[in-house]
Chains A and B, each alone.
Chain A
Amino acid sequence: MDVFIQQLINGLTLGSIYGLIAIGYTMVFGIIGMVNFAHGDVFMVSSFIALICFLLVTTVLGITSIFLALAIVLVVAMFFTSLTNWAIERVAYRPLRGSFRLAPMISAIGMSIFLANFVQVSQGPRNKPVPPMVTDVIVLMDNNGYQVTLAWKQVIIMAVTAVLLMGFWYLVQKTSLGRAQRAVEQDRKMAALLGINVDHTISLTFVIGAALAAVAGVMYLMYYGVAHFADGFVPGVKAFTAAVLGGIGSLPGAVLGGLLIGLIEVFWSAYFSIEYKDVAAFSILAITLIFMPQGLLGRPEVEKV
């Protein structure tokens, strides 16, 4: 029971991070039908932006309040990651729109390699550590030495994720920007006929996806305390799995899928074998694709138009 609760906490924390990344995959797929293979690397870039910003804020500016520092890091990382993704869309995907369907995906693979290599060369091939940011833990239970703990950083991750997801949900469902985004997703030509600038709306989708990935990047850095140039790949594929499991194109599906993948991963590690935790995630991707390609919350293929 103790182990179960502890793993539940860990799984939800990890799942929050996957869910935030998964939204970027699912939104981009929804609006231009492309699997953005570079999205995991955009997430990795954001954790480096966060790392650099954190070091600057704490050393150069000398800010000692960890919460203020984190807030600044979050805003700065969201801004620069969004800018990066906006630029990527402009140079690597937009010129290929209207080309054959695989062209932008191949370009995305190229972009993924470019980002990973660029960070490897400019930041070095090793793990880059940051000083521990939030170290306090709350002991929830203590059973003959086995402690169930809830770390403050886990609380922060879940709280920030929940708040941002609500804000994001409001943006997509209730504002005219979000409506335009959904309109372009559902019928691009009609949206244009109604005065929606389709190019801007697609850019906006990349910007929003990157901002959420940046939140994940900051949380990841805070949780693990290191950034590494290859960290785009495995979390990226897991978040992609989450998007597919939840139903690609579905926003609630991405969050649900993220939480499930996070939970499956930690429970697998706890009860079976930690070495095979990535295999578990990838098996789920394969099983979903074969038996349930529309995912848990994906929409049925047929629709009356």
Chain B
Amino acid sequence: MSDTRTAAPAPTAAPAGGAEPMLAVRGVKTFYGNIMALKGVDVDVHRGEIVTLIGSNGAGKSTLMMTIFGQPRAREGQIVYDGRDITKMPTHEIAHLKIAQSPEGRRIFPRMTVFENLQMGASVDGFGHFDEDLLKVFDLFPRLKERINQRGGTLSGGEQQMLAIGRALMSRPRLLMLDEPSLGLAPLIVKQIFDAIRELNRAEGLTVFLVEQNAFHALKLAHRGYVLVNGLVTMTGAGRELLERPEVRAAYLEGGKH
């Protein structure tokens, strides 16, 4: 574990501190029918940061990820991206601002091949860098290359997860949102994915907003973290700092090592 520790960026080195955030979620309330799933959430993601959101099942993490894309729409509050209010913007236009999401449940197109799924990811980028980006994704997940003509619906869960992340990367996002990327993956692949996220962030300055059950890894990777409980942010701070807090350890890191 000590090797990852040294490779990780120092938690205090969060870039662009003080400047206007790339993504600002302000007092967002989201409803499913009459049930309020988000009860006024504030989250900032700055350029070049890795930010993670942790919380137990049903806390509203995926709801926040989808609300940023207007699915469902925030009933109150504001979502600002790059200085633009995107709260009421149509979902597909939000995608064209180069925000990409690998959503909960992966949502692979089941009757399209791996290749076509990746093509779908590249549609907002206009296919200008398709071959180059495809090689990058295959570098990251050689497994996808072997399965290139297989239909998405017949991939294993882990392969689908790789495809969902690869598809998100194909759009050349400026903000990459990942909802539980480690779900269903073998520990070795999880490490690979987390290393890849760190590397994309370090080398290309990619901004990442990450939802994770795997709080230990996520908080170690992230510059900053938020803890969501029942639709409200209860704690925020540098990743390592949260990792040390007894409340966090008790609630999300029970069992010590993960």
Contact = CB atoms under 8 A, between A and B. Distances in A.
Interface of A: 176, 179-180, 182-183, 186-187, 189-198, 299, 303-305
Given A179-B116, A303-B110, A304-B110, A193 B123 contact: no
A266 to B, nearest CB: 34
Main secondary structure on chain A at its contact with chain B? helix
A61 to B, nearest CB: 42
B111 interface: yes
Contact of B110 (A180, A186, A197, A198): A186
B78 interface: no
B245 interface: no
Interface of B: 69, 71, 90-92, 95-96, 101, 103, 105, 107-112, 116, 119-121, 123-124, 127, 153-154, 167, 171
A94 to B, nearest CB: 14
A195 B116 contact: no
B101 A193 contact: yes
A299 B95 CA distance: 31
B75 to A, nearest CB: 16
A143 B74 CA distance: 77
A196 B124 CA distance: 8
B124 A195 contact: yes
Contacts of A179: 112, 116, 119-120, 123
Most chain B beta-carbon contacts within 10 A, residue among A182, A183, A303? A183
B64 to A, nearest CB: 15
A197 B92 contact: yes
Given A193-B107, A304-B154, 7 more contacts: A176-B123, A183-B120, A186-B111, A187-B107, A192-B69, A194-B167, A195-B95
5 contacts: A183-B120, A189-B71, A193-B69, A196-B123, A198-B92
B153 A190 contact: no
Contact of B92 (A176, A182, A195, A304): A195
Contact of A194 (B71, B95, B110, B127): B95
User: Which of A191, A193, A303: most chain B CB closer than 10 A?
Assistant: A193
Contact of B107 (A180, A190, A196, A304): A190
Which 5 residue pairs are nearest across A and B when measured between Cβ atoms? A195-B95, A195-B124, A192-B91, A190-B107, A186-B109
B110 A190 contact: no
A35 to B, nearest CB: 21
Contact of B171 (A189, A194, A303, A304): A194
Nearest to A190: B107
A195 B110 contact: no
A88 B109 CA distance: 29
B110 A305 contact: yes
Contacts of B107: 187, 189-190, 193
A31 B120 CA distance: 17
B30 to A, nearest CB: 15
B154 A194 contact: no
A183 B120 CA distance: 8
Residue of B101, B120, B123, B171 ringed by the most chain A CB atoms within 10 A:
B120
B153 A193 contact: no
Contacts of A197: 90, 92
A54 to B, nearest CB: 40
Residue with the highest number of chain B CB atoms closer than 10 Å, among A182, A190, A192, A196: A190
Contacts of B92: 192, 195-198
A178 B25 CA distance: 35
A305 to B, nearest CB: 6
Contacts of B101: 193
A304 B159 CA distance: 13
B99 to A, nearest CB: 9
A190 B103 contact: yes
A194 B111 contact: no
A176 B103 CA distance: 22
A196 B94 CA distance: 10
A193 to B, nearest CB: 6
